[in-house]
Copies of this chain bind each other. A is one copy, B any other.
Amino acid sequence: MKFFNLFFLISLSFSIAVAQKNTAFVDPFIGTEGEGHTFPGASFPFGMVKLGPDCEGHSNSGYISNGKIEGFSHTHVSGTGGGAKYGNILVRPFIGKSTDRVSATAFSDEVAEAGYYATTLDQDKIRAEMTVTENAGIHQYTFPKSNQSKILIDAGHHLFFGDQWGEAQQFVDSEIEVIGNNAVAGYSTVRHGWNFGGAYTVYFYAELSKPFIGFTTYKSGKESNKKVQFASKEKTQACLSFQTKEGEQIQLRVGISFLSTARAKHNLKSSLGELNFEQVKANAFNQWENILSKINIETKSEAEKTVFYTSLYHSYLMPVCREDENPKWKSEVKNYDDFYALWDTYRTSHPLMTILTPNRQVEMINSLLDIYKHEGYLPDARSGNDNGRTQGGSTADIVIADAFVKGLKGIDYELALEAMIKNAEVSPGGDERKEGRGGLSDYNTLGYVSTDFERSGSRTIEYSLCDYSIATLAKGLGKNDLYQKYLHRASNWENLWDENYDSEGYKGFIMPRKSNGEWHSDFILVNREADGGDTIRFNEFTTGYWEAFLYESSSWEYSLAIPHDVKTLIKKCGGEEILEKRLDTFFEKDYFLVSNEPGFFTPFLYTYMGKHHRTVDVVKGILDQEYTTARNGIPGNDDSGAMGAWFVFNAMGFYPNAGQDIYLISSPKYPSTTIELGEGKTFTVTKDHPERTYVKSAKLNGKPLNRAFLYHKEIIDGGLLELSMSKKPTQWGAEQLPPSLPKTNL
Contact = CB atoms under 8 A, between A and B. Distances in A.
Contacts of A187: 260
A427 B430 contact: yes
A323 to B, nearest CB: 10
A230 B429 contact: no
A180 to B, nearest CB: 14
A189 interface: yes
Contact of A427 (B198, B232, B265, B427): B427
A547 interface: no
- How many protomers of this protein does the assembly include? 2
Contact of A428 (B231, B262, B429): B429
A376 B198 CA distance: 12
A193 to B, nearest CB: 13
Contact of A376 (B259, B262, B430, B441): B430
B175 A263 contact: yes
A199 interface: yes
Contacts of A198: 328
B429 A432 contact: yes
A231 B262 contact: yes
A257 interface: yes
Contacts of A432: 429
A653 to B, nearest CB: 43
A230 B430 contact: no
A321 to B, nearest CB: 16
| Size bracket, chain A contacts | 35 or more
Contacts of A125: none
Contacts of A189: 327
A329 interface: yes
Interface in A143-200: 170-173, 175, 177, 187, 189, 191, 198-199
Given A187-B260, A327-B199, A265 B230 contact: yes
Interface in A189-236: 189, 191, 198-199, 201, 228, 230-233
A426 interface: yes
Interface in A227-268: 228, 230-233, 257, 259-260, 262-263, 265-266
A329 B191 CA distance: 7
A330 interface: yes
B436 A259 contact: no
Contact of A330 (B233, B257, B431): B233
Contact of A426 (B232, B376, B422, B430): B430
A175 B201 CA distance: 16
A56 interface: no
Contacts of A426: 429-430
Residue of A187, A230, A377 ringed by the most chain B CB atoms within 10 A: A230
Contacts of A324: 232-233
Interface string A514-533: 00000000000000000000
Interface in A344-369: none
A366 to B, nearest CB: 16
Contacts of A431: 376, 428-431
Given A230-B266, A327-B189, A430 B177 contact: no
Contacts of A430: 376-377, 422, 426-429, 431, 436
A328 B191 contact: yes
B230 A327 contact: no
A268 to B, nearest CB: 11
A257 B231 contact: yes
A427 B231 CA distance: 36
A318 B233 CA distance: 24
A432 B427 CA distance: 10
A233 B334 CA distance: 12
A17 to B, nearest CB: 37
A173 B330 contact: yes
Interface string A389-431: 0000000000000000000000000000000001000111111
Contacts of A265: 228, 230
B330 A230 contact: no
A294 to B, nearest CB: 32
Contacts of A233: 324, 330
A175 B175 CA distance: 18
A337 to B, nearest CB: 15
Contacts of A173: 259, 327, 330
Contacts of A257: 231
A173 to B, nearest CB: 6
A174 to B, nearest CB: 10
Nearest to A376: B430
Nearest to A432: B429
A241 B297 CA distance: 66
Contacts of A232: 259, 263, 266, 324
B328 A262 contact: no
A172 B189 CA distance: 19
A213 B431 CA distance: 54
Contacts of A260: 175, 187, 230-231
A179 B386 CA distance: 34
A693 to B, nearest CB: 50
A332 B228 CA distance: 23
Contacts of A231: 257, 259-260, 262-263
A696 to B, nearest CB: 54
A329 B170 CA distance: 8
A428 B428 CA distance: 7
A230 B231 CA distance: 20
A507 B528 CA distance: 54
Nearest to A434: B376
A172 B329 contact: yes
A200 to B, nearest CB: 10
A173 B325 CA distance: 10
Residue of A198, A426, A428, A429 most packed against chain B (CB within 10 A):
A429
Contacts of A329: 170, 172, 191, 199
Contacts of A330: 170-173, 233
Nearest to A428: B429
A257 to B, nearest CB: 7
A327 to B, nearest CB: 6
Given A228-B262, A231-B260, A262-B230, A327 B429 contact: no
A1 B12 CA distance: 60
Contacts of A436: 429-430
9 contacts: A170-B329, A175-B260, A198-B328, A230-B262, A232-B259, A233-B324, A427-B430, A429-B432, A441-B441
Task: List the 5 shortest-distance A-B pairs measured between CB atoms, nearest first.
Answer: A429-B429, A230-B262, A231-B259, A427-B429, A231-B263
Interface of A: 170-173, 175, 177, 187, 189, 191, 198-199, 201, 228, 230-233, 257, 259-260, 262-263, 265-266, 324, 327-330, 376-377, 422, 426-432, 436, 441
Given A191-B329, A232-B266, A429-B432, 5 more contacts: A172-B328, A175-B263, A189-B327, A228-B265, A429-B430
